[in-house]
Amino acid sequence: MPAKTSDRVDELGEDDLATVADETAASARRVVAAYATDADECRMLLNMLGIAPGEA
């Protein structure tokens, strides 16, 4: 079965993005750090999730 395709492009605006609570981000950082294989992977995953320390 071929993949479903569409010409429609949905773009996210600033209003569509929600920020996470500080407590939630801190908990997520701990989970990512616990499962990351090394510091570089941890840093990459935190950046991908938008919860790297120092990000606002």
* Residue range 3-35, pLDDT digits in tens: 666 666 566 666 666 677 889 999 999 999 999
**With bands split at pLDDT 50, 70 and 90, how would you rate the model's confidence at 52?**
very high
Is the pTM value of this prediction over 0.85?
A: no
Q: d(Cα 47, Cα 52) in Å, to the nearest integer?
A: 5
Does residue 56 carry a pLDDT above 60? Answer: no
Q: Which long-range contacts (CB under 8 A, 24 or more apart) does 11-17 make?
A: none
Q: Which two tokens stand for residue 55?
A: 């990000």
CB 55 within 8 A of CB 26: no
User: In the 8-state DSSP scheme, what is residue 38?
Assistant: S
